[in-house]
Structure 1
Amino acid sequence: MTQYTFALDLVNDPELIAEYEKYHSNVSSEIQQSILDAGVTKMQIFRFENRLFMIMEVDDTFTFERKANMDATNPKVQEWEQLMWKYQSAIPGAKENEKWVLMKQIFDLKK
């Protein structure tokens, strides 16, 4: 199992943040299936204020390129991504039009 961690900011507006959370409490089956089809086996999103952290576990079929290609050809995913931009704000240091930024692991406690 491979795990990736990402960060993203939300527009710092309590009403928009509440709407964003509401959308994520009932993500459509089409969006969920597209994530699973890309090889993601587990995905969690956490929020503090307007900062989001996502932990994504993937299987051996997952690649970022494959997921990007699948997303680009899926009208439901494109519709979802357009809608989400209303609430999202690129994190400092993100490239132009980049949403979720891959985080670098700097510590791992193992027993």
Structure 2
Amino acid sequence: MKMENITATDIKTYYQVLDLKDDPALIAEYEKYHEKLWPEITEGIKSVGILDMRIYRTGNRMMMVMEVPAGFDFDTQMAKLGTLPRQEEWEELMWKYQQPLPFAAKGQKWMPMEKIFELEK
């Protein structure tokens, strides 16, 4: 599904956060990997229905924004993504640079954010 074929009401947006290890050299390496993702990673992301994905950083805190079709089943599609070529290898490699948030449950990486304000609502 391409973005130009759907309207804003057909899209759901997820916001998640995760920390990087607070080491400038590791952060620089992490960003280098994201400048040229392995093709299997981007293909996998698209194949499970993710329409767009962006990651922002301030200091060592990251926020990921994912846009998906309104009917997207997050848990099912993320589980499917994990089974696709090179995804597990990528996740293991990225964990060298990442660390859980202080309040994350054991084994939890990217944590969902809760909306607390919206101007137009």
TM range (shorter): over 0.9
Q: Distance in 2 between matches of 1:61 and 1:37?
A: 15
Equivalent AA in structure 1 for residue 46 of structure 2: L
Which ranges in structure 1 are unaligned for 5 or more consecutive residues?
none
Q: Distance in 1 between matches of 2:16 and 2:83?
A: 23
| Counterpart for residue 56 of structure 2 | 46
Deviation at 1:63, TM superposition (A): 1.6
Q: Distance in 2 between matches of 1:68 and 1:5?
A: 14
Q: Does 1:58 align with 2:61?
A: no
Cα-to-partner distance string for 1:3-57 (whole Å, 9 max, x where unaligned): 0100000000000000000001111111011111111101110000100011111
Q: Distance in 2 between matches of 1:92 and 1:104?
A: 17
| Counterpart for residue 32 of structure 2 | 22
Q: 1:8 to 1:34 in 2, by over 3 A?
A: same
Structure 1 contact 71–78 (Cα < 8 Å) conserved: no
Q: Please tell me whether Structure 1 or Structure 2 has the larger radius of gyration of its CA atoms.
A: 2
RMSD: 1.5
| Counterpart for residue 10 of structure 1 | 20
Q: TM-score, normalised by structure 1?
A: 0.92
Deviation at 1:61, TM superposition (A): 5.0
Matches within 5 A, 1:62-101: 62-101=72-111
Cα-to-partner distance string for 1:59-86 (whole Å, 9 max, x where unaligned): 1452222223213322400000000000
Which ranges in structure 2 are unaligned for 5 or more consecutive residues?
1-10
